[in-house]
A and B are shown apart, each in its own frame.
Chain A
């Protein structure tokens, strides 16, 4: 059983518009049998934070192309992407580079 994980989840570049315009979210992920990774965080965001039009943020089990992910201010491509195991006090930033719509 993994312990609860506290994170700072941030949205920028217009992605915040999908989250009531709120850029910074303090998030506590509940205990679950498996350790939390980005894949399960995205599922949690879809169920708990994303108010409308999830297709503008999520595609399949990942983020929509054009949305960048930074884990503790580093490119998630260096961190294992969806498989990155979240740790307490991690900072996860999603930046949209999409122009419109």
Chain B
């Protein structure tokens, strides 16, 4: 592998982390450590100055190497790229564009489409501001020439309950092998008489044409209903988790409906490191590998892939400036007056502060994540799978948790419709989040519908067991 990063970690990783070296107070231009000629334009890791040309080569190569190493995206496969307008996903789209325009031997061979989830409602944007953001995003999406889908977060209210169950898995170990897929792709190309001049997939008929852009915003009533869920969440942390859940479910549902078996998300190395520590703090230790790994197969038929997780936020920001990658800035998720910041924000501040003094902090955290097993608690049936995050329940033998005073809420209603009845359906971490979400009638309808179904089913099974034991 031609690793140009000169990754300083390596064997000495267990020794005292290097202290930040203050740059000398001169403005004398330094030369690139890669080619030894160009004027350095940025420092990518401790003490590695790169010129623009070498940095570009390094950046583009890393993307292809990431996909090549993992071999999960099949040639000719339809892939949905989740775009937020932010730096990492915008750089990701540019890498796919670069990859598709390369000479045949180095060319990426999948068929990309884009999806954007508009979240202005929970970012406290006025309808005018939302329209403005949408116009900017659409310009950005259109400029790529790829088909794209624009969704509004409000549409999560109409998600089917089935999004909380894994779809029939085609991407798992039972799916077609990478090699088989490559072979059949090459055969297909020969049949098509592909000389290598056309882009992959553009000859096949099932490539969707760019759909008409979603014009207009959702009804005010829908926006109100969505906001009710977010307002009812008692903490900024729960609100962040709710947003992440709704967004992910919307994107995965879009992929499922339209036949994409892979979704690419633009989590950077910095974001992965923040997510790792955040999720650890949120009690999601058992699921770190699924939550932050290269592949995430919890949804079964739709695999989530994170090809940007090798790039630091700094590398991405510099790439976007140097090579004019357009981005769109949106305001942050709303917070309530005088509210404590979310754990997500606190961890980000903490990690970036530490990084300032110890420049290897973030990549060390990231590398720790690399060592985690990608197969945590396996769930063979839905009763063993968390209602909200679809991970295998990690609460075995911790049933007393359900009775923990902090998890019991004052409930006017009784029976299956009480909030407490949901607790056994949730993993440890989602129990904590669920507690901070509002009353049941503020939960997204699909969560409630699926929750009720599982509660009824569990009751029926319980009754059957009771009958059988009374017979015997």
Q: Which residues of A pack against B, CB within 8 Å?
A: 12-14, 16-17, 65-66, 68, 70, 73-75, 77-81, 83-85, 93, 95, 97-101
Contact = CB atoms under 8 A, between A and B. Distances in A.
Contact of A99 (B30, B40, B271, B331): B271
Interface in B348-407: 348-349, 352-353, 355-356
Interface in B1-59: 22-27, 29-30, 39-43, 49
Interface of B: 22-27, 29-30, 39-43, 49, 87, 240, 270-271, 274, 313-314, 316-318, 321-322, 327, 329, 331-333, 335, 341-342, 344-345, 348-349, 352-353, 355-356
Given A65-B356, A78-B43, A97 B270 contact: yes
B318 A68 contact: yes
Contacts of A65: 349, 352-353, 355-356
A96 B341 CA distance: 18
Given A78-B49, A83-B25, A100-B345, A13 B329 contact: yes
Contact of A79 (B27, B316, B318, B352): B27
B72 to A, nearest CB: 26
A68 B43 CA distance: 12
Contact of A97 (B30, B87, B332): B87
Contacts of B335: 101
Nearest to B341: A101
B344 A100 contact: yes
B87 A13 contact: yes
A98 B348 contact: yes
A78 B341 CA distance: 34
Contacts of B41: 73-75, 78
Nearest to B39: A74
B335 to A, nearest CB: 7
A100 B240 CA distance: 10
Contacts of B25: 80, 83
Contacts of B332: 14, 99-101
18 contacts: A13-B329, A14-B332, A65-B355, A66-B313, A66-B349, A68-B318, A74-B40, A74-B41, A74-B42, A77-B23, A78-B41, A80-B23, A83-B25, A93-B321, A97-B316, A99-B344, A100-B345, A100-B348
Given A75-B318, A80-B26, A99-B344, 15 more contacts: A12-B329, A14-B329, A16-B329, A65-B349, A65-B356, A68-B314, A70-B321, A74-B42, A78-B41, A78-B49, A85-B27, A97-B87, A97-B314, A100-B332, A101-B341
Contact of B42 (A16, A78, A99, A101): A78
A99 B348 CA distance: 8
Contacts of A99: 271, 274, 332, 344-345, 348
